[in-house]
Amino acid sequence: MSTNKRITVAYGDGIGPEIMEATLRIMDAAEVGIEYDVIEIGEQVYKAGHKSGISPESWETLRANPYFLKAPITTPQGGGYKSLNVTIRKSLGLYSNVRPFRAYPPYVPSFFPHMDVVIVRENEEDLYAGIEYQQTSEVVQTLKLISDPGSEKIVRYAFEYARAYGRKKVTCMTKDNIMKHSDGLFHKIFNEVAKEYPEIEADHWIIDIGSAVVAARPESLDVVVTLNLYGDIVSDIAAEVAGSVGMAGSSNVGMNHSMFEAIHGSAPDIAGKNIANPSGLLNGATMMLVQMGMADKAELIQNAWLKTLEDGVHTGDIYRAQRSAERVGTKEFADAVIARLGQVPSKLKAVKYNENVSINVDVKEKPQQKKELVGVDVFIDWRENNRDVNVLGGKLSANVSTGKLTLKEISNRGVLVYPNGVPEAFKSDHWRCRYTNPNGETLSNSDVIELMKKVQEAGFDFVKTEHLYHFDGERGYSLSQGG
């Protein structure tokens, strides 16, 4: 809980100013007692030459205040502009993206009227590190980096969230049947952390079938925790099936800072017309109030909002003649919510937040593991002799080896092709040549350098190396498929 009542506010682009104005007016009417430091972000800032859509002065404000309420912005196309959201998430260490998706039947049609799922997405790691290399004419690589503390932080956050909000189950989604090391680490940490929360059910789905469950049986899910890319995808699926894309808010939470917003964009097609639905941003603001220790104010606003929905006072995006009473604009919708402050819904379930929602994530540094170098993979760019791998294997065996390291196998795009490989396997120009010590001796970096000199002398074009380690005696690298 924080007693700091100053927050940073950005009005954003498109419908941003209209929905922010409506949201702040509702918060002020609820007497939340917050002061606002307004910063400029978005399209105009990009066009003024700030490639990330934010100026250095605005950074000072963002750093000074722990909470940031942000309206959507328009990212200009092309021109090397960087995503403002990604920049803010990474710079402020906002490791957790929380997106609650709830159905509001019959006011907002949903295939799943009882759906109430919270997706907790890891926000900083995975393929979003944006580390990419083209290595040969034919092969490009993106690094997927998963860290032990990064995984523990998000998994703990999900369980702490479940505990704080009275949720019953946390479901982990990974693809560790294929990525046994990276996704395997995330799943292993999930299993370990789950034991510390015996009152909360814990289960795991492989992400592909897990996504199908989100789409087909979301009512069986409660809190979902997953890696960055999968979280990006499943949260869009969840938003779509809940039917409330325009109404969902989200939080991006870090150790010292948090950012709250609507999940939708700046909707330039309806900007300036007083027709946008401010509910997504208002729901983001409600999440912020709970986190700021103002559960009573969050409840006051959320229940007035639910009452407005069930009274049929609807903006154009959810207005339907058969079930709505009145079609209103953005300003009038805010007025209707303000008029209902202090009321609770009678058909939709009223909300009750825990007064002391405090989510404390404490990740302790683990002891360093014992690391032993047992080999090296040398990646070679090669397309001679019609890509006949027996020629490549023969040349490497004959000319490239040292007293400590000899060729064990060659794989291409992960598939074993030499010796005794799958002859039909497609062969790109990117060959992984695995060198190990036949007697299982532990090696040093000097042994790798000695080998690399031989690779160079033999005229091979090496594009990268990867060291093969054992950590605490466990193999820390994958085997070739078909090997």
Binding site for ligand NAD (CB under 6 A): 15, 72-75, 85, 246, 261, 264-270, 276-277, 280, 317
CB of 310 to ligand NAD, least distance (A): 19
CB 194 within 8 A of CB 170: yes
Of 100 and 246, which has the nearer Cβ to ligand NAD? 246
Question: What one-character-per-residue DSSP string does 120-169 give?
Answer: EEE-SSBGGG--EEE-SSS-EEE--B--HHHHHHHHHHHHHHHHHTT--E
| Tokens linked to 412 | 């291409």
CB of 78 to ligand NAD, least distance (A): 12
CB 447 within 8 A of CB 157: no
CB of 42 to ligand NAD, least distance (A): 8
Of 74 and 437, which has the nearer Cβ to ligand NAD? 74
Of 18 and 429, which has the nearer Cβ to ligand NAD? 18
| Tokens linked to 72 | 């959507």
- The helix/strand/coil state of 411 is strand
CB of 75 to ligand NAD, least distance (A): 4
What span, in angstroms and rounded, lies between the C-alpha atoms of 433 and 409? Answer: 6
CB of 25 to ligand NAD, least distance (A): 16
Of 15 and 120, which has the nearer Cβ to ligand NAD? 15
| Tokens linked to 119 | 């997706």
Phi, psi at 295, each rounded to 5°: -60, -35
CB of 174 to ligand NAD, least distance (A): 26
Strands laid side by side in the 474-475 sheet: 415-418, 406-412, 430-436, 371-381, 462-471, 474-475
Of 327 and 383, which has the nearer Cβ to ligand NAD? 327
Question: Which amino acid is it at 90?
Answer: K
CB 286 within 8 A of CB 301: yes
CA angle at 361 for the pair 147 and 184, rounded to the nearest 5°: 30
Of 278 and 345, which has the nearer Cβ to ligand NAD? 278
CB of 18 to ligand NAD, least distance (A): 9
Of 167 and 257, which has the nearer Cβ to ligand NAD? 257
CB of 235 to ligand NAD, least distance (A): 12
Kindly list the distances between the CA atom of residue 321 and the CA atoms of 50, 112, 313, 434, in Å, as whole numbers in the listed order: 46, 22, 11, 68
Of 74 and 182, which has the nearer Cβ to ligand NAD? 74
- The helix/strand/coil state of 284 is helix
